Amino acid sequence: MARVWNLDASLEDVETAIHSLDGSQCTLVVVELASGKTITIGGGPSKVVAELSENDTHRWCVVDPLRPGGKIQLVVGGQLVDPPVRICIEKEAALEAARTFVSENGARSRHLEWSVET
């Protein structure tokens, strides 16, 4: 399981961790800022889910509006889960989310579509 908990981790470290998501041995990356905001990216090898938590109650997922309904199975954090297909995104979208999150102090990328998830 890959995790980037070091508050001084570089963007390159975060990107390397996301690229390493393989859906079996390495299935979760968590980046937490000093503000307490976190981005969690899990799954792999081809599809991942990305969730940004601004606090205990506000959680946003990157969504792919072109994906059909239904569910898909992914291993996230070592657990088999079945998230909605619409939140299963390409790694490149997760990288965009992480880059903006790290470089803009916890912001959500304006280039991606986000949905509040409960």
What does the domain layout of the chain look like in residue ranges?
A: 11-116
pLDDT at 116 over 70: yes
What is the widest separation between alpha-carbon atoms in the chain? 38
Strand 38-43 to 28-32 pairing? antiparallel
Quick one: average pLDDT of 15-38?
92
- Tell me: pLDDT of 70 over 70: yes
pTM of the model: 0.90
How far is residue 93's CA from residue 7's CA, in Å, rounded to a whole number? 22
